[in-house]
Structure 1
Amino acid sequence: MTVFRFCLALAVMAPLPAFADEADVPQQDFAIHAQSTLVAQGTPGFSSPYAGTNSLAPNQARETWDATIYAGVRPWQGAELWVNPELDQGFGLSNTLGVAGFPSAEAYKVGKSNPYFKLPRLFLRQTIGLGGGKFAVDAAANQLRGMQDRNRLVITIGKFSVVDVFDTNSYAHDARSDFLNWSLVDAGAFDYAANAWGFTFGGALEWYQGAWTVRAGLFNLSKVPNQPSLETGFGQYQVLGELEHRHSLGGHPGAVRMGFWMTRGRLARLRDLIAAHDATGVMPDNADLRSMHDHWGGYFNAEQEVTPTLGLFARLSASDGVTEADDFTDIDRSASVGGQVKGAAWGRHDDRIGFAGVVNQITRTHQIYLDDGGYGTLVGDGRLPHPGSEWIAEGWYQVHMDRHVDLTLDYQFVANPGYNRDRGPAHVFALRLRGAI
């Protein structure tokens, strides 16, 4: 925990100066930021008449911790080069298994008891101005302070996360500062290209024009679904597109986004796995039936400020549901809605409350596969005689303890974990402590 205490010490250093007048905002040519997040999460007893390799276990508690440095430099006009070295430690509940909408997006599919190093991001972002007036860009992690044209092209290449660019949302997108649940911080059925930690190599192009933005991207998949190693040379890849429209309702900003993705990779088709099981009575290893297949889906993402202290969001997403999940989680249909409330109403201006609900589903073919003894990315109880939708509600309160330190109390209710009516419901409690500069 020495590194965690060090990062919290960094968090109480003096902040960068604020600039109210856009005309006076100077360009920042380099920056270093840091963050550290500790999440302790547990679940008491719940109904569990049987369990499989990927089941959520009752009566357990786990913790995860990470510390990240965000170092950036402007090598030439309009460009930003960023690197994010990181230390990680800990495990999610049941080794990050048992719930398709997993309760902590701070828990990865790879966990270790001792801190270990990884490099989640190393990327170059080039912004090309196209006029339309100027606006100020604040200093932040992976963002240098300065001025930008409202109309612009933005090119990002290197190693980063697909959801750094696509499916963003002001109210539900960061497990370190808002919702913890996997299917709330991102669209649940968005099986985006990534390694086991959620990052990949690729590039994205964004064209901002007035109230509209068009995005396109090309990214590598992992060499084997849900594993650390990434493909090279785009032998397995994902292409994405997104259309965003920004608007104002009654003077309050909002945005609507629609996205589509198509994956081309070595994946096992669920119907082939089921047929092999029916012929032999044994569910084969997915690796034995993997070959090149397409896997696709889409999402809808909306956010709207209602008052200066209340903002709402909603997401819908769906995938074809005919292959094993590639790199995210076992969700074929997902719908979520929620919001955030700022604490000004009760005299705590920097505190926040978050509330949301999500329902996740899988196709009938996917249900049969799990009932035959198949295992997904995160779920699999060995059988699924009584399948049902996975219903999750999450609520949290974030206490602003210091200008750079926040403490969050989080609760999640999970009905039918792993789509199994025989198990649960599970009550998941969490405490999150974060320091950042």
Structure 2
Amino acid sequence: MLRFPPLRFTRNALLAGFALGLAAASVCAQGPGSTSADHLPSAPEPQFIAGADFLQQKGLKPAGDPPAPANAPEPAPEAPSVTVFPHPEDARYWISGQANIIFQGRIPFHSLYEGPNSFRNSAEYKTSMVGTLYTALRRNRSVRYNTDFIFDLEAAEGRGLSEALGLAGFTNLDVVRNPYLGKAPYIARYQIHQVIGLTDKTTSQEANFFALASTVPTRRLEFRIGKMTLPDFFDVNSVGSDSHLQFMNWTTDNNGAWDYAADTRGYTVGGLAEYDDLNWSLRYGIFAMPVVANGIDLDWAFSRANGQNGEYELRHSWIPQRKGETRVLYYANRGHMGVYREAVQAYLAGIDSTPTITAHEHFGALKYGVGYNTEQELTANLSVFGRFGWNEGQHESFCYTEVDQTVSAGAEYFGNRWHRPLDKMAIAVVSNAIKRDHQNYLRLGGLGFLLGDGNLNYGRENIVESYYTWHAWKGMFYSLDVQHIDNPGYNRDRGPAWVGSVRAHVDF
């Protein structure tokens, strides 16, 4: 059985993460308030007012009426807007947009050597931008049998530090892993979303660009077919999934060991089926795999290559009157993938001049793994989350990043105590690992689609990330973020590295 080295986080790294969070809180402790839509205060219920009550509401008190009680409750405050242009309630259409700009910089760090795919040790800064137009149309207002048509356009430009190479947990989730795809807008999503109710009992949900109905059956089937990105529906976590308002690192926002089917930009085509009940959900999907590792072209022959994903979600809290959720994920990818051990053996036997994983690919190769995802609200302001992921690690990392095992934990805190309810600060720790065959491949000079220092003195890649997000006005948010990476690219001979970020985000 393969064993992973124990998790090691330096004391300085942890103290640095906490210090950044506390410093950001003190800087932003004044001014008008803000939070994510998941934590907005409830909107006041509509009041039907008549007669004298109506006059009182308008300040026209009839003669002889008794004075209002001194201890009468104040009306609930109006929920702050989190978009520049509010979306009309219960509309049959959706039009919105977002823009996310991230500036990142790195200071020099210790490095004994560098390879073709190394995270460079010189000072560097880069900027990325992603803009998305979300549109959707609801066929009718039926609650039990609802259909949504979804179409999104997107544009991405800018590059990541070191061309997004050299880190398993890269520092910017918005960066396209191939910087030469161009700036032209592309179709990000097109979907048909069908709801089939199994009961007349209903529950409310927040309407959004993936589901326009604000009321749905408590028990229902949902189907989606078209182009999508899997993290929209699998491995979702309200504390650690949103690179626009939360963490930025690939392996903080997603399960790094989940090599989910996707092209270079993170999208694929396929179908998803989901059953939802009052407190739990079950979903399954099958999707197209890329033709080559990290490729932009998809293999449309599902009989030859596909990515299958399943997830069970339980909505249960361990603390009364608080929210809590747990998700268990599995995936199985079949594709034209190589085997690390075969590449190493061919090199040691003198067949290959360097270890080359692409020279040992097989159609129908199977890569599989599991994931665990949990979140728990502790107080009105404080929530925690955690993830664990594992995959078999013998076949090459193909779609997402080069991680065979990951564990992460973190917490976020909202700014109600300093009268900024939409501000938040957070910290997370992540530890990534690869298995022995993968280690040997990199140690002997092999290149993955992300990693390759030319040598390897193996150690777990440990990351501490902290941020503060400030709500400036309506849909405008700004963030400060810092990341400490110990053993970048699993290499003890390099690092630690520090990366600082400034993010501007707007929701239209």
TM-score normalised over the length of structure 1: 0.93
Q: 2:175 aligns with which of 107, 112, 137?
A: 107
**CA separation of 1:420 and 1:149: change in aligned 2, threshold 3 A:** same
Q: CA deviation at 1:112?
A: 4.6
**CA separation of 1:12 and 1:101: change in aligned 2, threshold 3 A:** closer
Q: Is the 8 A contact 1:39 1:430 kept in 2?
A: yes
For 1:356-414, what per-residue CA distance to the aligned partner results, in whole angstroms no more than 9, with x for missing partners? Answer: 00000000111100001111221110111x20000000000000001100000000000
1:358 aligns with 2:430: yes
1:264 aligns with 2:334: yes
Match runs of 1:117-156 below 5 Å: 117-131=185-199, 133-156=201-224
Structure 1 equivalent of residue 139 of structure 2: 75
1:380 aligns with 2:452: yes
Structure 1 equivalent of residue 316 of structure 2: 247
Q: Whole-Å Cα distance in 1 between the matches of residues 99 and 338 of structure 2?
A: 38
Q: 2:410 aligns with which of 338, 354, 358?
A: 338
Q: Is the 8 A contact 1:222 1:230 kept in 2?
A: yes
Q: Whole-Å Cα distance in 2 between the matches of residues 331 and 151 of structure 1?
A: 37
Q: Whole-Å Cα distance in 1 between the matches of residues 286 and 83 of structure 2?
A: 39
Q: Is the 8 A contact 1:90 1:113 kept in 2?
A: no
Q: Whole-Å Cα distance in 1 between the matches of residues 85 and 221 of structure 2?
A: 34
Match runs of 1:78-227 below 5 Å: 78-112=146-180, 115-131=183-199, 133-227=201-295
Q: CA deviation at 1:308?
A: 1.0
Matched letter for residue 73 of structure 1:
L
Runs of 4+ in structure 1 deviating by more than 4 angstroms, as ranges, are none
Once the two structures are overlaid, the 10-residue window that deviates more, 196-205 or 133-142, is 133-142
Report the secondary structure of 1:89's partner residue. strand
Structure number with larger C-alpha Rg = 2
Matched letter for residue 367 of structure 1:
Q
Report the secondary structure of 2:343's partner residue. helix
Q: CA deviation at 1:178?
A: 0.9
Q: CA deviation at 1:255?
A: 0.6
More strand by share: 1
* RMSD over equivalenced CA pairs, Å: 1.5
**CA separation of 1:112 and 1:12: change in aligned 2, threshold 3 A:** farther
Matched letter for residue 381 of structure 1:
D
Match runs of 1:227-376 below 5 Å: 227-234=295-302, 235-248=304-317, 249-280=319-350, 282-292=353-363, 293-376=365-448
Matched letter for residue 406 of structure 1:
F
Matched letter for residue 355 of structure 1:
I
Unaligned regions of 5+ residues in structure 2, if any? 1-81
Q: Is the 8 A contact 1:259 1:299 kept in 2?
A: yes
Q: CA deviation at 1:17?
A: 5.0
Structure 2 equivalent of residue 409 of structure 1: 480
TM-score normalised over the length of structure 2: 0.80
For 1:202-231, what per-residue CA distance to the aligned partner results, in whole angstroms no more than 9, with x for missing partners? Answer: 111110122111111101100111111111
Report the secondary structure of 1:272's partner residue. helix
Q: Whole-Å Cα distance in 2 between the matches of residues 30 and 348 of structure 1?
A: 32
Report the secondary structure of 1:350's partner residue. strand
Q: Whole-Å Cα distance in 2 between the matches of residues 98 and 14 of structure 1?
A: 40
Q: Whole-Å Cα distance in 1 between the matches of residues 85 and 398 of structure 2?
A: 43
Matched letter for residue 306 of structure 2:
Y
Matched letter for residue 168 of structure 1:
V
Matched letter for residue 246 of structure 1:
R
Report the secondary structure of 1:115's partner residue. coil
Q: Is the 8 A contact 2:343 2:359 kept in 1?
A: no
Report the secondary structure of 1:109's partner residue. coil
For 1:4-55, what per-residue CA distance to the aligned partner results, in whole angstroms no more than 9, with x for missing partners? Answer: xxxxxxx97431356xxxxxxx4x2111010001001111010122101110
Q: Whole-Å Cα distance in 2 between the matches of residues 57 and 160 of structure 1?
A: 33
**CA separation of 1:420 and 1:219: change in aligned 2, threshold 3 A:** same
Q: Whole-Å Cα distance in 2 between the matches of residues 155 and 325 of structure 1?
A: 29
Q: Whole-Å Cα distance in 1 between the matches of residues 120 and 310 of structure 2?
A: 38
Q: Is the 8 A contact 2:84 2:474 kept in 1?
A: no
Structure 1 equivalent of residue 44 of structure 2: none
